[in-house]
Chains A and B, each alone.
Chain A
Amino acid sequence: KNQVEQSPQSLIILEGKNCTLQCNYTVSPFSNLRWYKQDTGRGPVSLTIMTFSENTKSNGRYTATLDADTKQSSLHITASQLSDSASYICVVRLGVGGGNKLTFGTGTQLKVEL
């Protein structure tokens, strides 16, 4: 069964600290993996996309990694800010053989405090 699991479910950190969010997937065939940020009550917004051949990609203070062999991805947030408080959702897209379907993780709820 195609699944995407995220950990931790929730996380509280102090402003200025770093954190890492995890995403493990069993999706096959794999096409790409996106990290979305969803502010409370708002629609998700894409942060970064990882394809099979990419190991690391950065978007400002956000750095995503992908290990296609172990089917794991991480999102590292550096020097956290209060505005980073949000839900971070990992979404994996199946390849053509899987109908290009999307599988969503349930998200990691991050709270950044003073």
Chain B
Amino acid sequence: DSGVTQTPKHLITATGQRVTLRCSPRSGDLSVYWYQQSLDQGLQFLIQYYNGEERAKGNILERFSAQQFPDLHSELNLSSLELGDSALYFCASSRLAGGGTGELFFGEGSRLTVL
């Protein structure tokens, strides 16, 4: 158990809909990362937050947005969903913004299926 909690574990929705994925980082971790992993693909970095502030942005679509709340949990919002958005979405946390050894602790992922 990494200590990172993601909900929901599975989600099935239709094209055009909007969903919210939630992540609670490990206790004490200030940094939260979101990754997308499509079938048989590598992990694609979406966005990072550190202590409530956006820290780095990757290949995140304009239809996607995220935020980190004062209690450090984070939400990833996906809107106007398309079939190609079907993927595993992972949240990871780390103690620091980027320095140090920077080990990431990953949650178990949220599997999104868009029909």
Contacts and interface: CB of A to CB of B under 8 A. Distances in A.
A41 B2 CA distance: 15
A30 interface: no
B45 A104 contact: yes
Contacts of A102: 45, 102, 104
B103 interface: yes
A45 B101 CA distance: 14
Interface residues of B, number: 22
Contacts of B97: 100
Interface stretch (B64-72, B77-85, B105-113): B105-113
A61 B45 CA distance: 30
Nearest to A4: B42
Interface in B26-63: 41-43, 45, 56
Contacts of B45: 102, 104
B97 to A, nearest CB: 7
A99 B97 CA distance: 10
B16 interface: no
A52 to B, nearest CB: 12
A53 B99 CA distance: 17
A89 B109 contact: no
Contacts of B56: 99, 101
A49 B108 contact: no
A31 B107 CA distance: 24
B21 interface: no
B92 to A, nearest CB: 7
Interface of B: 2, 4, 41-43, 45, 56, 88, 90, 92, 97-99, 101-104, 106-109, 111
Q: Which 7 A-B pairs have the closest CB atoms?
A: A100-B98, A43-B106, A106-B42, A46-B103, A104-B43, A44-B106, A43-B108
Given A32-B101, A42-B108, A49-B103, 14 more contacts: A32-B102, A41-B88, A41-B109, A43-B92, A43-B107, A43-B108, A46-B103, A46-B104, A89-B42, A91-B104, A99-B56, A100-B99, A102-B104, A106-B41
Interface of A: 31-32, 34, 41-46, 49, 51, 89, 91, 93, 96, 99-102, 104-107
